[in-house]
Amino acid sequence: MNGLSILIPIYNEEDSILKTIDEIKSILNNNSLTWEIICINDGSIDNSRHILENNNDIILINHKFNKGYGAALKTGLRASKYDTICITDADGTYPNDRIPDLINHYINNNLDMVVGARTGENVSYPFLKKIPKFFILLLANYISNSKIPDINSGLRIFNKKIAFEFFHLFPNGFSFTTTITMGMLCSDYNVEFIPINYYKRDGKSKINPWKDTIGFFKLLLKIALYFNPFKFFSPLILVFLIASIFFLYRDLFILKDLTQSSIFFPTFTLLFFSIGLLADLIIKRSFNKYQ
């Protein structure tokens, strides 16, 4: 069905949610879009639920307890009725006035997802968060063979049908956006990034920097093994191959006698190569069968 479903996960956002919803309504009404706003109250313990229950023109879904950002978005996806999904946050950090720009870019370029990358002129992003994000992006770029300016932006437009292909991979926590970014890029869907601003949030952030950074790395490793296992094993194969050549040369031409190293490294080179190749063939066969 043609139209736009906007999903807003909410957890203790009483100071900003009303302003965010009113802003989005005004933007959508001024652009003659067919839309629905789905607010997923993820077990808020402040006044958020009461504010939402007294707001017209929205669909409210309440979680009895806090399940997580990803869980809220999955609930919203199941409840949405339109083919095009927009997600944004309730804390006032994202420039929702850019939603029409993202939609136009999405439609005009026949994309599967367009991401509002937080690389604009006005970006309020703590320096301590930039350090782990730099290394996360290095790993993500390598795995996906893409240049990713912002892997986990919470403002994006995407195709609902494609999102459901990765539904079983979506975590309940903050890694939902990372997963859908990597899933689409690794599956060669059409994804583009548009620079946007990113403002200082209203209220306290719910992200735990150390815990969530470790979680991001673990997730990327899982995604690497799931979507591109041979590329994941390639650096390890290369290291063992170089070591094999070195020890074989040493043993054959210098020591003139085979040592354990000359057997160990070639054996494990062949082992990792076989595992990577076999995993890659299984994944590709599974995807072809699914599609």
Q: What is the pTM of this model?
A: 0.85
d(CA 88, CA 198): 12
Q: Which CATH architecture has domain 4-126+149-204?
A: Alpha-Beta Complex (3.90)
216-271 pLDDT, tens digit each: 677 778 778 888 888 889 999 999 999 999 999 999 999 988 899 999 999 999 99
pLDDT at 132: 74
Q: Are 189 and 162 in contact (CB under 8 A)?
A: yes
109-161 pLDDT, tens digit each: 999 999 999 999 888 766 666 777 788 888 889 989 999 999 999 999 999 99
CA dihedral 13, 15, 19, 21 (to 10 degrees): 20
20 contact partners, CB below 8 Å, separation of at least 6: 8, 13, 88, 89, 90, 91, 92, 96
